[in-house]
RNA sequence: GGAGAGGUGGCAGAGUGGUCGAUUGCGGUAGACUCGAAAUCUAUUGUAGGGAAACCUACCGGGGGUUCGAAUCCCUCCCUCUCCGCCA
């Protein structure tokens, strides 16, 4: 949630910021609600103060052993003005909050204007893009020949979008996850293994609820949700806490499967690995002092880029434009690897600075230089999601004889094997 | 799942209907003493909202209720602990 004070202090700034995202937000309504909220608060609180004073008087009389029935009767005979104002106030606050909770974060000044992915800016390029040889197969054919996965049986036991990894495929998946985690640990991230199901408050804290309920798998009976990313449980690790500035920044990495309904995206990337209901991802989550978050964002992004680099996959880093950023992000870099046969850029990481957007929802604070509590900034980035990495690896490192050359960094995780063969 | 006991400020721990936002201890901060430190002493030390301010309001796990008045009584949910049952 954005800072609600801005509604009062600078509604035009809000209007413009949301317009950059292509959103015509009901700013006038917000201003109206904020004003009526404040005037109702005055009414309600004045009534409460009067009542408190009268009750204190009753207490005093009773303690003195005097008769208080007149005083009590006087309080009782008061009108229900307060009750009425209270219910109006509650309704106003609810509408205000409902609107604010559904509105996205404001783009940072360094974010380019734009309406869609077409307007994203390439921040950097790395690696040389080579044309695939004529004999090259696409990743599905390579994987099938090596028996790395079994989509059919995945569909049988669960449905489309639930892959089964088999044999070397399963090991390769495990190797990627283990290597990612080791890299992050060595870079100072604390590895955590969080729950895969979280409660409503956690989902609300990161911004997945209420707006994106239709993208989540739910366990209705227990009011739990399957996580769409480790960002949710790990960010909420520090919900309702005041983090000691001496401990900052706090950096975590976590491997989890991710569960996404992908409602509304039927027909898009349905084949193979490009869009799945369940996939593995290692996520980095970073809690920062407010003034340090943009530096942290660069470091976090570089940490993710480093993995792709070490795998030898050409990539590009996009600075997302205002219209293409996710709901909670103030600034976001996407890292895309090149799939030479598919001839496509594939997004394998998204590194975002949420500023205090999530922190406000989740109650994550630290202390400023004056020792007073301030909202922390949260950041996160994939480091990395495996399926599309697998696509790029298979297409890039396939050999003419049908084998797969294992990138060097992964070999220690695969018993030192250099080539995977059927 | 059954029975019981609990959830109070950074921590520990009082408080069972009337100046309780809350005794006290520890911790934190500032000061005194000291060459300095320790010890000791003194003061101070929650969060959020409203208000130009004075100040007011709210918060004792969450929500609801009783009452002129609730940390304290009632209902409900959540969580923790102990015992029993079940079980990877």
A355-405 pLDDT, tens digit each = 999 999 999 999 888 888 899 999 999 999 999 999 999 999 999 999 999
Per-residue pLDDT, A75: 86
Query: Cα–Cα distance between A235 and A231 in angstroms, integer?
Result: 6
Per-residue pLDDT, A222: 82
A83-CA/B50-C1' distance, Å: 18
A15 noted as active-site residue: no
Instruction: Report the nucleotide nearest the CA of residue A241, measured to C1'.
Output: B10
Q: HSE-up of A410 (CA within 13 Å, CB side)?
A: 27
Convert the pLDDT of each residue in A278-337 to its tens digit. 999 999 999 999 999 999 999 999 999 999 999 999 999 999 999 999 999 999 999 999
Per-residue pLDDT, A273: 84
Per-residue pLDDT, A268: 65
A124 φ, ψ (degrees, to nearest 5):
-155, 160
What's the predicted TM-score (pTM) here? Answer: 0.93
Closest Cα partner for A394 from A345, A342, A317, A334?
A: A342
> A168-186 and A386-397 are packed helices; what angle lies between their axes, rounded to 10 degrees?
110
Average pLDDT over residues A99-120: 96
Flag the least confident range among A78-82, A247-251, A309-313, A342-346: A78-82
Among residues A20, A37, A171, A275, the one annotated as catalytic is A275
A164-CA/B73-C1' distance, Å: 58
Query: Cα–Cα distance between A360 and A5 in angstroms, integer?
Result: 12
Query: Cα–Cα distance between A347 and A279 in angstroms, integer?
Result: 14
Convert the pLDDT of each residue in A261-287 to its tens digit. 987 776 666 677 888 999 999 999 999
In the numeric block, which tokens belong to residue A128? 């040389």
A353-CA/B83-C1' distance, Å: 49
Pairing of strands A364-367, A241-243: parallel
* Contacts (Cβ under 8 Å, ≥6 apart) of A37: A89, A92, A93, A96
A177 vs A269 pLDDT, higher one: A177
Nucleic acid strand B: bases within 7 A of protein CB? 10, 18-19, 47-51, 56-58, 68-69
Instruction: Report the nucleotide nearest the CA of residue A76, measured to C1'.
Output: B68
Q: What is the ipTM of this complex?
A: 0.88
Per-residue pLDDT, A1: 94
A183 noted as active-site residue: no
Q: DSSP letter for A408, please.
A: G
Per-residue pLDDT, A69: 84
Per-residue pLDDT, A313: 97
Task: Give the full edge-to-edge strand order of the sheet including A218-219.
Answer: A197-199, A224-226, A218-219
**How many CB atoms sit inside 10 A of residue A205's CB?**
25
A240-CA/B61-C1' distance, Å: 13
A316-CA/B39-C1' distance, Å: 63
- Is it the case that residue A248 has pLDDT exceeding 90? no
Instruction: Report the nucleotide nearest the CA of residue A199, measured to C1'.
Output: B78
Instruction: Report the nucleotide nearest the CA of residue A68, measured to C1'.
Output: B68
Which residue places its CA closest to the C1' of nucleotide B19?
Answer: A56
Q: Strand B neighbours with CB under 7 A?
A: A 5, 38, 41-42, 45-46, 48-49, 51-56, 58-60, 62-63, 68, 72, 75-76, 242, 365, 372-373
Per-residue pLDDT, A79: 62
| pLDDT tier for residue A64 given thresholds of 50, 70 and 90 | confident
Per-residue pLDDT, A270: 65
A388 noted as active-site residue: yes
A60-CA/B21-C1' distance, Å: 20
Query: Cα–Cα distance between A288 and A238 in angstroms, integer?
Result: 12
Closest Cα partner for A414 from A403, A406, A422?
A: A406
Average pLDDT over residues A32-41: 95
Per-residue pLDDT, A203: 93
A115 noted as active-site residue: no
A260 noted as active-site residue: yes
């Amino acid at each position: 949630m954005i800072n609600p004070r801005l509604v009062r202090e600078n509604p035009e700034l809000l209007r413009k910021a949301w317009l950059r995202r292509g959103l015509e937000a009901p700013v006038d309504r917000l201003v109206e609600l904020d004003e009526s909220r404040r005037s109702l608060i005055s009414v309600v609180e004045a009534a409460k103060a009067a009542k408190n004073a009268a009750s204190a008087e009753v207490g005093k009389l009773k303690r003195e052993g005097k008769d208080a029935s007149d005083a009590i009767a006087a309080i009782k005979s008061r009108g229900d003005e307060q009750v009425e104002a209270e219910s109006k106030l509650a309704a106003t606050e609810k509408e205000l909050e409902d609107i604010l909770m559904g509105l996205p974060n404001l783009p940072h000044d360094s974010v380019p204007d734009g309406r869609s992915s077409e307007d994203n800016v390439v921040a950097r390029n790395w690696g040389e893009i080579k044309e695939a040889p004529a004999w090259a197969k696409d990743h599905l054919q390579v994987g099938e020949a090596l028996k790395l996965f079994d989509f059919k049986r995945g569909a049988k036991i669960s449905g489309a979008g639930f892959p089964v990894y088999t044999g070397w495929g399963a090991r390769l998946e495990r190797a990627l996850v283990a290597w990612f985690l080791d890299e992050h640990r060595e870079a100072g991230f604390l590895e955590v293994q969080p729950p895969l199901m979280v409660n409503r408050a956690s989902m609300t804290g990161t911004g997945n609820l209420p707006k994106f309920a239709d993208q989540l798998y739910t366990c209705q009976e227990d009011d739990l949700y399957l996580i769409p990313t480790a960002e949710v449980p790990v960010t909420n690790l520090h919900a309702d806490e005041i983090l000691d500035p001496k401990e900052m920044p706090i950096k975590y990495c976590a491997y989890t499967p991710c569960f996404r309904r992908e409602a509304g995206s039927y027909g898009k990337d349905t084949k193979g690995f490009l869009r799945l209901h369940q996939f593995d991802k290692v996520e980095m989550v970073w809690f920062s002092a407010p003034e340090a978050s943009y530096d942290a964002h660069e470091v976090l992004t570089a940490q993710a880029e480093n993995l792709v680099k070490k795998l030898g996959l050409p990539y590009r880093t996009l600075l997302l434009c205002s219209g293409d950023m996710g709901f909670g992000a103030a600034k976001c870099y996407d890292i895309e690897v090149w799939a030479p046969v598919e001839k496509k850029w594939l997004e394998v990481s998204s590194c975002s600075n949420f500023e205090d957007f999530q922190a406000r929802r989740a109650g994550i604070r630290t202390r400023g230089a004056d020792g007073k509590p301030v909202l922390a900034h949260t950041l996160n980035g994939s480091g990395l999601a495996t399926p599309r990495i697998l696509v790029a690896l298979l297409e890039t490192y396939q050999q003419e004889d049908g084998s797969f050359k294992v990138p060097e960094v992964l070999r220690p995780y695969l018993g030192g094997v250099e080539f995977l063969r059927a």
